[in-house]
Amino acid sequence: MVFNRDPLGIASSVCVYILLLFGDYAIVYHVLEYGQHEGLGRSFGALLSHCLFAMSIVCHLRASLTDPGYVPLSKTKIDFSSDLEKTESGQKKKKKREPPPIGEWTVCHRCEIYRPPRSHHCRKCGRCVRRMDHHCPWINNCVGELNLKYFFLFVMYSGFLCLYAAVLITVEWLWNREESAQDSTTDKYIHSHDCHVVVV
């Protein structure tokens, strides 16, 4: 289990939970409760919203607390003193850094360890991560080899929740617009009929 003590990351994670909770609350208690949904349709809509909300929270927690794939730190650090001496004495000229060949291990000068291919050093975590994608402040963790699946599922479920809310709101708006149009035509008909009766 991993927990980063970055204040901005913790605040971002709390904001994610608040936004997801507000989305679920708005769908169930404002769109479905006061909309044109009856009995079974309302219950199914609320159940779907709760399921998407719960899966988003679970996947967010798994992505936040799972080790992203930190490269283990070695007890014996790599000795760079000879390289530093050569650089200071001017015997070694600075060459342009080229990316390492694919499939070869590289050296991290910050962690002072050998790291597998496609590993990168995260400045926020202070560690090298296998297959690091990026450091996400919304989960307060790196997205790497071991938690990429949970991060992708979190994004997918929260996206489905947003899409579900947008579809419900659009349907309710169109439904209310049609009803208001029908009511206005009915009122006009009744009003004209009453006037006709009065005139006759």
Residue 30 is given by DSSP the state I
What mean pLDDT, rounded, does the chain reach? 80
Average pLDDT (179-188) is: 61
Burial 133-166 (b: 16+ CB within 10 A, else e): bebbbbbbbbbbbbbbebbebbbebbeebeebbe
Whether pLDDT at 158 is above 90: yes
**Full-prediction pTM beyond 0.75?**
no
Average pLDDT (114-118) is: 89
What confidence category does residue 160 fall into, taking pLDDT thresholds of 50, 70 and 90?
Answer: very high
23-45, pLDDT tens digit by residue? 898 888 888 776 555 667 778 88
Query: Is residue 122 within 8 Å of 129, Cβ to Cβ?
Result: yes
Q: Tell me the residue type at 114.
A: Y
Phi, psi of 140 (to 5 degrees): 55, 45
Average pLDDT (101-129) is: 85
Percent of the chain surpassing pLDDT 70: 72
pLDDT at 200: 41
pLDDT at 182: 65
Average pLDDT (78-107) is: 60
Closest CA to 159 of 65, 14, 15, 20: 20
What confidence category does residue 92 fall into, taking pLDDT thresholds of 50, 70 and 90?
Answer: low
| CA-to-CA separations, 186 to 104, 122, 159, 191, in angstroms, rounded | 77, 66, 41, 8
Closest CA to 151 of 160, 163, 142: 142
Residue numbers annotated as active site: 136
